[in-house]
Amino acid sequence: MLRRFIRTMSESKIKEFTLKTPKGTKDWADKDMVIREGIFSYLSTLFKKHGGVTIDTPVFELREILSGKYGEDSKLIYNLEDQGGELTSLRYDLTVPFARFVAMNGISSIKRYHIAKVYRRDQPAMTKGRMREFYQCDFDVAGAYDTMVPDAEMLEILCSGLQGLGINDFKVKLNHRKILDGIFEVCGVKEEDVRKVSSAVDKLDKSPWEIVRKEMVDEKNQPEEVADRIGEYVKLILLANESASQGIRDMAILSDYVEAFGISKLLSFDLSLARGLDYYTGLIYEAVTAQSAPPTTVDSKKKKSLKEDDDASDYVGVGSIVAGGRYDNLVGMFSASKKSIPCVGVSFGVERIFSLVRQRLVQDQQVRASHTNVFIMAFGNGFLTERMAVAKRLWDAGIETEYLYKNKSNPRRQFEAAEKLGCSIAVILGKDEVAQGKVRVKTLNTGVNDDGELVDLDNVAPYVKEKLEGIVRVDDISRLIGNLTN
Amino acid sequence: MLRRFIRTMSESKIKEFTLKTPKGTKDWADKDMVIREGIFSYLSTLFKKHGGVTIDTPVFELREILSGKYGEDSKLIYNLEDQGGELTSLRYDLTVPFARFVAMNGISSIKRYHIAKVYRRDQPAMTKGRMREFYQCDFDVAGAYDTMVPDAEMLEILCSGLQGLGINDFKVKLNHRKILDGIFEVCGVKEEDVRKVSSAVDKLDKSPWEIVRKEMVDEKNQPEEVADRIGEYVKLILLANESASQGIRDMAILSDYVEAFGISKLLSFDLSLARGLDYYTGLIYEAVTAQSAPPTTVDSKKKKSLKEDDDASDYVGVGSIVAGGRYDNLVGMFSASKKSIPCVGVSFGVERIFSLVRQRLVQDQQVRASHTNVFIMAFGNGFLTERMAVAKRLWDAGIETEYLYKNKSNPRRQFEAAEKLGCSIAVILGKDEVAQGKVRVKTLNTGVNDDGELVDLDNVAPYVKEKLEGIVRVDDISRLIGNLTN
Q: Which of B17, B79, B133 sits opposite A59 (nearest CB)?
A: B133
All CATH 3.30.930.10 domain ranges of chain A, comma separated, are 18-362
B95 is in an annotated binding site: yes
> Which DSSP string corresponds to B263-302?
-GGGEEE-TT---S-TT--SEEEEEEESPPPPHHHHHSTT
> CB B58 to CB A25 under 8 A?
yes
Nearest CA in chain B to A160: B396
pLDDT band for position A92 (cuts 50, 70, 90): very high
What residue numbers of A does the annotated binding site for L-histidine cover?
93-95, 120, 136, 140, 275, 279-280
> CB B101 to CB A49 under 8 A?
no
Q: Which of A54, A255, A299, A375 has the highest number of chain B CBs within 10 A, making it the mutation to test binding with B?
A: A54
The backbone torsions φ and ψ at residue A396, rounded to the nearest 5 degrees and listed phi first, read -60, -25
Mean pLDDT of chain B: 84
Contacts of A275 (CB under 8 A, 6+ apart): A198, A202, A284, A286, A323, A325
pLDDT in tens, B463-479: 999 999 988 666 677 77
Q: Is A82 on the interface with B (CB under 8 A)?
A: yes
Q: Is A469 on the interface with B (CB under 8 A)?
A: no
- CA dist., res. A133 & res. A119, Å (int): 5
Secondary structure class of A257 (helix, strand, coil): helix
Q: Is B86 on the interface with A (CB under 8 A)?
A: yes
Percentage above 90 pLDDT, chain A: 55
| Cβ within 8 Å of A, B 190-229 | none
Q: Is A55 on the interface with B (CB under 8 A)?
A: yes
Give B162→chain A minimum CA distance, Å: 13
More confident site: A129 or B49: B49
Q: Which of B25, B133, B400 sits opposite A49 (nearest CB)?
A: B400
Residues of B in contact with A60 (CB under 8 A): 22, 25, 133
Would you say B148 and B326 are in contact if contact means Cβ atoms under 8 Å apart?
Answer: no
pLDDT in tens, A339-373: 889 999 999 999 889 988 888 887 656 788 889 99
Q: Is B164 on the interface with A (CB under 8 A)?
A: no
Residues of B in contact with A396 (CB under 8 A): 160
pLDDT of residue A325: 96
Residues, chain B: 486
> CB B152 to CB A385 under 8 A?
no
Q: Is B5 on the interface with A (CB under 8 A)?
A: no
Q: Assign 3-state DSSP to chain A and report helix, strand, coil percentages, each to 5.
A: 45, 20, 35
More confident site: B456 or A308: B456
Nearest CA in chain B to A418: B51
Give A445→chain B minimum CA distance, Å: 19
Give the DSSP H or E segment for A143. none
Q: What is the mean pLDDT of residues A306-325?
A: 55
Tally of CA atoms within 13 A in the half-sphere of B377 that contains its CB: 26
Question: CB burial class (10 A; 0-12, 13-18, 19+) of residue B355?
Answer: buried
More confident site: B317 or B44: B44
Q: Put the strands of the sheet holding A438-443 in their side by side order.
A: A401-403, A374-378, A425-429, A438-443, A453-456
Q: Which of B33, B54, B59 sits opposite A133 (nearest CB)?
A: B59
> CB B402 to CB A33 under 8 A?
no
Q: Is A406 on the interface with B (CB under 8 A)?
A: yes
Percentage above 90 pLDDT, chain B: 56
Which DSSP letter does residue B205 get?
G
List C-alpha distances in Å: A96 to A56, A131, A287, B282: 13, 20, 22, 46
Q: What is the mean pLDDT of residues B343-359?
A: 91
Q: Does domain A374-478 have CATH number 3.40.50.800?
A: yes
> CB A400 to CB B60 under 8 A?
no
More confident site: B420 or A72: B420
In this predicted structure, the answer to whether residue B29 has a pLDDT above a threshold of 70 is: yes
In this predicted structure, the answer to whether residue A196 has a pLDDT above a threshold of 50 is: yes
B463 is in an annotated binding site: no
- CA dist., res. B364 & res. A240, Å (int): 60
Q: What is the mean pLDDT of residues B432-448?
A: 92
Would you say B328 and B282 are in contact if contact means Cβ atoms under 8 Å apart?
Answer: yes
Q: Which of A133, A145, A336 sits opposite B406 (nearest CB)?
A: A145
Residue closest to A113 by CA, chosen among B129, B37, B136: B37
Q: What is the mean pLDDT of residues A211-217?
A: 85
Residues of A in contact with B90 (CB under 8 A): 80
Nearest CA in chain B to A57: B27
Would you say B119 and B92 are in contact if contact means Cβ atoms under 8 Å apart?
Answer: yes
* Range from A177-181, A300-304, A418-422, B43-47 carrying the lowest mean pLDDT: A300-304
- CA dist., res. B178 & res. B243, Å (int): 9
Nearest CA in chain A to B255: A385
pLDDT in tens, B99-132: 999 999 999 999 999 999 999 998 877 666 679 9
Would you say B353 and B368 are in contact if contact means Cβ atoms under 8 Å apart?
Answer: no
Residues of B in contact with A26 (CB under 8 A): 58
pLDDT band for position B486 (cuts 50, 70, 90): very low
pLDDT in tens, B353-375: 998 888 888 765 678 888 999 99
Q: Is A144 on the interface with B (CB under 8 A)?
A: no
List C-alpha distances in Å: B401 to A43, B186, B384, B434, B471: 16, 69, 14, 19, 16
Give B320→chain A minimum CA distance, Å: 24
The backbone torsions φ and ψ at residue A395, rounded to the nearest 5 degrees and listed phi first, read -60, -45
pLDDT of residue B226: 85
Q: What is the mean pLDDT of residues B379-393?
A: 95
Q: Which of B156, B371, B393, B478 has the highest number of chain A CBs within 10 A, making it the mutation to test binding with A?
A: B371
> CB A372 to CB B51 under 8 A?
yes
In this predicted structure, the answer to whether residue B135 has a pLDDT above a threshold of 80 is: yes
Give A429→chain B minimum CA distance, Å: 15
Q: Is B392 on the interface with A (CB under 8 A)?
A: yes
What residue numbers of A does the annotated binding site cover?
93-95, 120, 136, 140, 275, 279-280
Q: Which of A26, A112, A371 sits opposite B48 (nearest CB)?
A: A371
pLDDT of residue A235: 57
pLDDT of residue B484: 56
Q: Which of A28, A69, A81 has the highest number of chain B CBs within 10 A, making it the mutation to test binding with B?
A: A81
pLDDT of residue A126: 66
Contacts of B434 (CB under 8 A, 6+ apart): B381, B383, B386
Would you say B441 and B453 are in contact if contact means Cβ atoms under 8 Å apart?
Answer: yes
Mean pLDDT of chain A: 84
B93 is in an annotated binding site: yes
| Cβ within 8 Å of A, B 325-354 | 333-334, 336
pLDDT band for position B303 (cuts 50, 70, 90): very low
Percentage above 70 pLDDT, chain A: 84
ipTM over 0.95: no
Residues of B in contact with A262 (CB under 8 A): 389, 392
Its CATH architecture, for the domain A18-362, is: 2-Layer Sandwich (3.30)
All CATH 3.40.50.800 domain ranges of chain A, comma separated, are 374-478
Q: Is B30 on the interface with A (CB under 8 A)?
A: yes
Residues of A in contact with B386 (CB under 8 A): 260
Tally of CA atoms within 13 A in the half-sphere of B274 that contains its CB: 22
Cβ-Cβ pairs closer than 8 A, A with B, add up to 262
> CB A19 to CB B334 under 8 A?
yes
- CA dist., res. B137 & res. B93, Å (int): 10
- CA dist., res. A393 & res. A396, Å (int): 5
Nearest CA in chain B to A164: B396
Give A479→chain B minimum CA distance, Å: 14
pLDDT of residue B11: 42
* Amino acid making up residue B236: L
- CA dist., res. A91 & res. A67, Å (int): 11
Q: What is the mean pLDDT of residues A81-95?
A: 95
